[in-house]
Amino acid sequence: MEMTSSARWARAVLAAAVVGLCVLVAGCTVGEERASPRPPVFDLLERKQEVYDRLPPGSPALLAVFADSSRSIGAMGMYEFFLARGLTASYCVIAVDIYDVQVGQACGGGVFDGELAEGIRFAFGEFFAGSVPGTQSYMQFSAQFSISIDEPAPRSYPALEEILARPQTPSDIPPGVDLEGGWVYPESFRLLANDRRSVYHVARVQGSRSGVCIALYEQDEFGNGRGSISCGTQDVVVYNADGLAAHFSALGFEGEAPEGWRQVSPLLRVKDIQPEPHRVFP
């Protein structure tokens, strides 16, 4: 049925009245949605929370954020980072170490940066995060989050040096590793530990005074093998796709291994975790 001019006028008046009511009562304006575009970080926060997004029980940050709002951003070295909606601030960034201990948190508005713990600095922006202030290098996990972790000051590691000083034998050469890749000194590879079907080796990083790489090689019951590798200095964490995490410490460890971890050498602890292929562990 064709709309009459009177009906069109009445409809226009009604629409204008609705807009006027919006301005009067709610303070909104026409085109407000255009003026306030949706922050891209909502893509992360509005997805379903998975098990790996949850903060460890007992984390102090649980008192400062909305329940079930935390989401994993990613991990670097020994630390994993989370973003959550804050109770008194728009967002909170939380750092948790590989042993599920919270090491720091910081909360703020749409754009903020800070230090989560000594030597761990970040920059966050709900639209975009640039470089981390006060640092020369940083890693950008996403367009909204950048992180920088200071390397420890150069020092000697007697237990590691003792391993690397041994004469190299055939068992010190890890299978499935490209020895000509140029990232480590091939002659520096040494066997670090055997653990079930996993073998760990350590090698010096080329061009670095104290950098090392930890190579993990596994073989299943069918004889199929695969490897993974991670590099660092004082602490190195390496993961595999089946849910195994290994923490190498050039300083060694004090006391008993935490629950769920087993110490397979003086410098290496291992834990079986749930496989989480979505994560990126630089």
- pLDDT for position 214: 94
pLDDT reported for residue 208 = 81
pLDDT in tens, the chain (282 residues): 444 433 333 333 333 343 333 333 344 444 444 568 999 999 999 999 999 999 999 999 999 999 999 999 998 889 999 999 999 999 999 999 999 999 999 999 999 999 999 999 999 999 999 889 988 788 899 999 999 998 887 788 999 999 999 999 999 998 866 666 678 899 999 999 998 778 999 999 988 878 899 999 887 766 677 888 899 989 999 988 777 899 999 999 999 999 999 999 999 999 987 655 444 433
C-alpha torsion 107→111→117→118, nearest 10 = -150
User: In what helix (H) or strand (E) does residue 112 lie, and over which residues does it extend?
Assistant: strand 111-117
Q: How far apart are CA 107 and CA 83, in angstroms?
A: 10
Q: What share of the chain is helix, strand, coil (3-state, %, to 5)?
A: 20, 35, 45
Residues 96, 113: Cα–Cα separation, whole Å: 17
Nearest in space to 209 (alpha carbons), one of 138, 264, 157, 280: 157
Find the largest Cα–Cα distance for the chain: 97
For 98, 109, 116, 253, 257, the CA distances from 147, given in Å and listed in that order, are: 17, 18, 10, 26, 28
What is the residue extent of each domain of the chain? Answer: 5-35, 42-149, 158-272
